[in-house]
Every structure is written in C-alpha cells, then in structure tokens.
C-alpha cells in the first residue's frame, strides 16, 4: 500500500469575491477577538477603512443583529444572531455524514475494515463501518454494537481523553476483564497506558480484544477541542504487523481523523 496523502479541497480566495462581504468578514473577525468591544475609530483603524465606510457597514450589521452596540459606552460587540446561527449549524452537523467521505477514502487506501466510534455511557459504540475489499477482514462488528473501552483501539482513544474521575468510575464499574492474553488488566499500568495514548494522539489494539486482530485508532476533535469520536482500522496481524501499524497505517488513520476534525469545526491553536 502506498502512502498517498489524503487530500482535501484547499480553500481558495475567489477571484470574484464581493468586496462588501470581504469587509464584513474582517469586521466580524476583529470583533470576535475583542471581548470588550471596539469603538468605531478602532474598527476603522483595524480594518483599514474610512470611518464613514466602516460606519455604514457596522450600522447594517447592527440592524440585522450580527453586531450590537452598547447603549452607554457606544462600543460594538458581536450580536446574538451569530449565536443563533451557530446553534443551527451545530444542529445540522451529523458526524457520520461529515466523516463518511474521509472514511471511504481511508478504506480505499488501506483495503481494510474502517470504523467510526463514539463514547456511549461506558462503552464504545460503532456508528459507521466501511469494508470495501473482499480480501479485507470480515469482522462481526455492526452499527449500534458496543465494544469495551479498555481493549479496543477506538475505545482506548475515547477513554484516554476523559477526565480522571470518569476514567476511575468506568474502570470501577466495568473492570478490566481479560479478552485475550494481551488485554490490559493491571489498573495502574493501564492508566499509564492511557496517558501515553493521549500524548501520542493514537492507540493500538495489539490482539487485546480478539486474537489475530490488530487495530489502529485516532481521535476526532470537535470545535471545542474535545474528542467526539474515534476513527479506526482493523486487520489481521499477518497483514497489519506492529511496524506497519505504528508506522504507515498510523499515519493514514491520524491524518483521516485530523481532516474529519477540521470538517466538523476543530481549529488547531498552532
């Protein structure tokens, strides 16, 4: 399998960009970075426009509630219309639909079974599965099926990003039952393992859930930077060796998770 980069359409500035919309975008961006608000003069200076032009634009934004003006200080701040639109967008986001094109491409590149999982109470829940190749592993996994958190790559990714108190609670309730000889069963070592996973940004299931099966998973982050799902690829150990799993396959899975994260609103701080 070649390490072909999984590409996305790069955002390009259109040649016919409407100037007014461009200026409105600049104004909203400036206000978004100024929680205390900005005066008309400050806005005009930051967007490099005359005060008259800035006032006409900002007055229209105030009329439509995209911007509000403080009655006492007269400074401008973002309006609640943006909050309402943001909530509507969140309601429309279905991570399965957003993730599916990337999962399909990952399945095409790996020719193995691809899953999308979410945390559901104290287990990992399969919400999507793609298997294109007849030569791939025909797993018994199915949509709506739960798997343990402590012995699956996707489950460990989801668990590793939970608060310490929740991790303790889940382990206390579910325990660390042995599924194979490789299943983590020592609580202290397992918690250390979760910390390593969180730092590394991916997890491996080295025959911990099923003998002869390895799995690689990476976290999908939402706009708040919180883990909302995990992407995983599962394959027989004869094809997915440890060096392959921690090298090429890990790169593909992590990159796919990164692109889905971007698609649902995550923006890195760097």
Q: Are residues 192 and 257 in the same domain?
A: yes
Which of 91, 111, 143 is the endpoint of a domain?
91
Supply the CATH number for residue 179's domain: 3.30.450.40
Residue 82 CA to residue 123 CA, distance in Å, equals 35
**Is the pLDDT reported for residue 213 higher than 90?**
yes
Range of the domain at 201: 93-263
pLDDT in tens, 43-57: 999 999 999 999 999
Q: Are residues 102 and 173 in the same domain?
A: yes
**pLDDT level of residue 268 (50, 70, 90 thresholds):** confident
Q: Are 187 and 176 in contact (CB under 8 A)?
A: yes
Q: Mean pLDDT, to the nearest integer, of 204-223?
A: 95
* Distance (Å) of CA 223 to CA 37, 93, 264: 23, 12, 7
**pLDDT level of residue 134 (50, 70, 90 thresholds):** low
What is the number of other CB atoms lying within 10 angstroms of the CB of residue 250? 20
Model pLDDT, residue 122: 93
- The partner residues of 216 in beta bridges, in order of sequence, read 204, 233
Q: Are residues 124 and 84 in the same domain?
A: no
Supply the CATH number for residue 82's domain: 1.10.10.10
Q: Are residues 130 and 77 in the same domain?
A: no
Domain tally, the chain? 2
Residue 165: CA atoms inside 13 Å, Cβ hemisphere, count?
A: 0
Which of 74, 91, 108 is the endpoint of a domain?
91
Residue 255 CA to residue 193 CA, distance in Å, equals 22
Q: Are residues 234 and 137 in the same domain?
A: yes
Q: Are 230 and 218 in contact (CB under 8 A)?
A: yes
**pLDDT level of residue 10 (50, 70, 90 thresholds):** very low
Residue with more model confidence, 189 or 34: 189
**Is residue 258 domain-resident?**
yes
CA 249, distance to chain mean position in Å, is: 19
Which of 63, 91, 119 is the endpoint of a domain?
91
**Is the pLDDT reported for residue 188 higher than 90?**
yes
**Is residue 14 domain-resident?**
no
Q: Mean pLDDT, to the nearest integer, of 125-144?
A: 73
Q: Are residues 151 and 223 in the same domain?
A: yes
């Amino acid at each position: 399998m070649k390490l072909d980069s999984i590409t996305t359409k790069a955002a390009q500035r259109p040649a016919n960009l409407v100037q007014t919309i461009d200026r409105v975008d600049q104004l909203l961006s400036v206000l978004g970075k100024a929680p205390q608000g900005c005066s008309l003069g400050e806005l005009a200076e930051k967007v490099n426009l005359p005060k008259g032009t800035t006032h006409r634009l900002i007055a229209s934004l105030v009329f439509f509630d995209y911007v509000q003006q403080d009655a006492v200080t007269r400074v401008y701040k973002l309006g609640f219309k943006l909050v309402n639109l943001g909530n509507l967008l969140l309601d429309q986001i279905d991570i399965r639909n957003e993730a599916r094109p990337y999962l399909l491409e990952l399945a095409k590149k790996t020719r193995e079974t691809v899953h999308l999982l979410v945390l559901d109470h104290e287990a990992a829940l399969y919400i999507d599965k793609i298997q294109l190749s007849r030569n791939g592993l025909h797993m018994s996994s199915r949509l709506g099926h739960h798997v343990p958190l402590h012995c699956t790559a996707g489950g460990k990714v989801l668990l590793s990003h939970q608060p310490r108190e929740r991790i303790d609670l889940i382990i206390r309730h579910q325990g660390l039952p042995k599924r194979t000889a490789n299943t983590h069963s020592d609580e202290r070592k397992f918690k250390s393992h979760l910390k390593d996973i969180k730092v590394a940004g991916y997890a491996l299931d080295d025959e911990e859930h099923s003998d002869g099966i390895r799995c690689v998973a990476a976290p999908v982050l939402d706009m708040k930077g919180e883990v909302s799902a995990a992407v995983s690829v599962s394959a027989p150990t004869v094809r997915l060796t440890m060096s392959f799993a921690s090298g090429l396959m890990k790169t593909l899975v992590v990159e796919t998770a990164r692109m889905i994260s971007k698609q649902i609103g995550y923006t890195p701080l760097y």
